[in-house]
Amino acid sequence: MADRDPSLVIEGLSKTYPGGVRALQGVSLRIPPGMFGLLGPNGAGKSTLMRTIATLQDPDEGSIHLGTIDVLRDKDAVRRVLGYLPQDFGVYPHLDPLSLLDHFAVLKGITDRSERKAVIEALLHRVNLWEQRKQKLGGFSGGMRQRFGIAQALIGDPRLIIVDEPTAGLDPQERNRFLDLLSEIGEHVVVLLSTHIVEDVADLCPQMAIIASGKLLHSGQPQRAIDELRGQTWKKVVGKDGLASYEREHMVISTRLVGGRTVIHVFSEDAPEDGFEAVDPDLEDVYFTTLAKAGLRRAA
């Protein structure tokens, strides 16, 4: 693989856990530099894929390369250029950001004290935590903890950053602040954003994939997928008592309550029965249609 190709390339990745759970089934992806969204419901295999890329577990089959680095064979090389923010990111509550980032920087190989000081100060300014640099981490809000998590992931100028469900539980203001930070980071390196929140991918990612039941169902540009669905998405307000019959007769991709009324979205290449109206699709429609075509249950 050429040095000039900095992409993350995943080929034929499979993983089955004890008990027969097939977490990954032949997943292949090429992920270029920039923000890449990995969408899927809970239990889809996203975290297994993230942990495998992050060298925390081995697959049964397949390969992963980051540029010229064989991820599965040269784990130390990967870890030197990897930033990782897992879904369950723990901190030492009685330490402050300065102390803990200093510890992480030593682990990353930054042994010169003055260099560490400069790196840590720059990172805290970048994630807007400089004013809280001496505050105990146990008093941080969820959004502040996530921004601290990104700071530790950025130590050492990584070429690959993995973030797993980073905005779950954040309030809207903190979510927007965090997504702005990710977008800025994603201008220069591969940032793999794993989430079940469709809006996060729609707002940030020029490339995406959908995974469910361990299988890759779709990959490509979000806008192109939306355009391909245009003219095939329909909506109708229905009574709750009649919902089951619509689900039997149509491919219902989503339902939601709007002002106390049940609104359904249906995928159909042709106009359904009277009462349906065409709707401009969005990435949520793409997501639910992809799951429905794969025979998977939609999210209510």
Parts of the chain with a pLDDT under 70: 1-5, 297-300
Q: What is 197-245 written as a DSSP string? A: -HHHHHHH-SEEEEEETTEEEEEE-HHHHHHHHTTSEEEEEE-GGGHHH
Residue 4: per-residue pLDDT: 56
Residue 300: per-residue pLDDT: 38
Residue 172: per-residue pLDDT: 85
Find tokens 């920087």 and name the residue.
105
CATH number for the domain that contains residue 89:
3.40.50.300
* Residues 67 and 15 placed together within one structural domain of the fold: yes
Residue ranges making up the domain that contains 12: 8-220
d(CA 71, CA 84): 14
Strands 160-164 and 190-195: parallel
Residue 236: per-residue pLDDT: 92
Are the beta carbons of 97 and 132 closer than 8 angstroms? yes
Instruction: Name the domain boundary from 220, 252, 274.
Output: 220
Instruction: Name the domain boundary from 220, 244, 272.
Output: 220
* Residues 180 and 258 placed together within one structural domain of the fold: no
> Looking at the domain assignment, is residue 13 inside a domain?
yes
* Residues 180 and 239 placed together within one structural domain of the fold: no
> Looking at the domain assignment, is residue 58 inside a domain?
yes
> Looking at the domain assignment, is residue 29 inside a domain?
yes
> Looking at the domain assignment, is residue 1 inside a domain?
no
Residue 299: per-residue pLDDT: 43
Residue 297: per-residue pLDDT: 56
Instruction: Name the domain boundary from 189, 220, 251.
Output: 220
* Residues 198 and 164 placed together within one structural domain of the fold: yes
Residue 2: per-residue pLDDT: 41
* Residues 59 and 190 placed together within one structural domain of the fold: yes
> Looking at the domain assignment, is residue 299 inside a domain?
no
Residue 60: per-residue pLDDT: 97
Residue 35, H or E segment: strand 34-39
CB environment 159-185: b (16+ within 10 A), e (fewer): bbbbbbbbbeebeeebbebbbebbeeb
Are the beta carbons of 91 and 148 closer than 8 angstroms? yes
> Looking at the domain assignment, is residue 3 inside a domain?
no
Domain total of the chain: 2
Residue 186: per-residue pLDDT: 83
CB environment 216-247: b (16+ within 10 A), e (fewer): bbbbeebeebbeebeebbbbbebeeeeeeebe
